[in-house]
Amino acid sequence: MGRRYYCEYCDKTFIDVLEARKKHLQSAHHIKMKNLHYELCKEPAVILREELLKTPCRRYFQHGSCQFESSCKYTHYSPEQLCELRQQVEQMEILKQKKEEAQLKIPSLESWLENYERTLNKEDGTTIHTPWVYPEMLEHRHDLPPSLIKFRPEHFHDDEFEEWGK
């Protein structure tokens, strides 16, 4: 038994000899299955754009079938189906836009502060919380450089101004 060739489009295996493969790849059935495969992979927006350019297939609408199927140069979509397809494409477009907008949404400074204050207010309102914690091991040391000493209100000496910012 020789090597076997598997055609993914047709889900068919046969002995892989050049002649047989060539014959298969040129067969109407294979071409049809291959076109169908790509038709199914297409984005609805692409299908809509293509179908809108075609005129209706008289054979298909008179006899209910057309041998060219999805590779027909005329459209097999009825006006109702095209309308449905258009709605589907529009729906997808809206969802896509919403997704993009959500990704772009960076919180404003105001909303960040509001959110920050809300988390502060959840705790005991009399203490002012800072997002960092002063290391306890430094609390009672007296040999620290000024930048490491825990900050207290009495450290202000030059506070003889009437209002902040003036």
- Contact between 66 and Zn ion per CB under 5 A: yes
Radius of gyration over alpha carbons of the chain, in Å?
36
With binding defined as CB under 5 A, does residue 120 bind Zn ion? no
Instruction: Candidates 5, 7, 45, 56: give the one binding Zn ion (CB under 5 A).
Output: 7
Q: Among 73-81, 101-109, 117-125, 140-148, which window interacts with Zn ion (CB under 5 A)? A: 73-81
Strand intervals (E) in the chain: 4-7, 12-15
* Residue 75 binds Zn ion (CB under 5 A): no
**86 counts as binding Zn ion under rule CB under 5 A:** no
CA 135 to CA 76: how far, in whole Å?
75
CB of 78 to Zn ion, least distance (A): 13
Determine if 9 is a binding residue for Zn ion (CB under 5 A). Answer: yes
Query: Residue 92 gets which letter from DSSP?
Result: H
Tokens of 111: 């909303």
- CA atoms within a 13 Å half-sphere pointing along the CA-CB vector of 23: 7
Task: Give me the residue label for tokens 């109407």.
Answer: 28
Tell me the one-letter amino acid at 121.
N
Q: Which stretch binds Zn ion (CB under 5 A): 1-9, 38-46, 119-127, 142-150?
A: 1-9
Name the residues that contact Zn ion, by CB under 5 A. 7, 9-10, 30, 57, 60, 66, 68, 72, 74
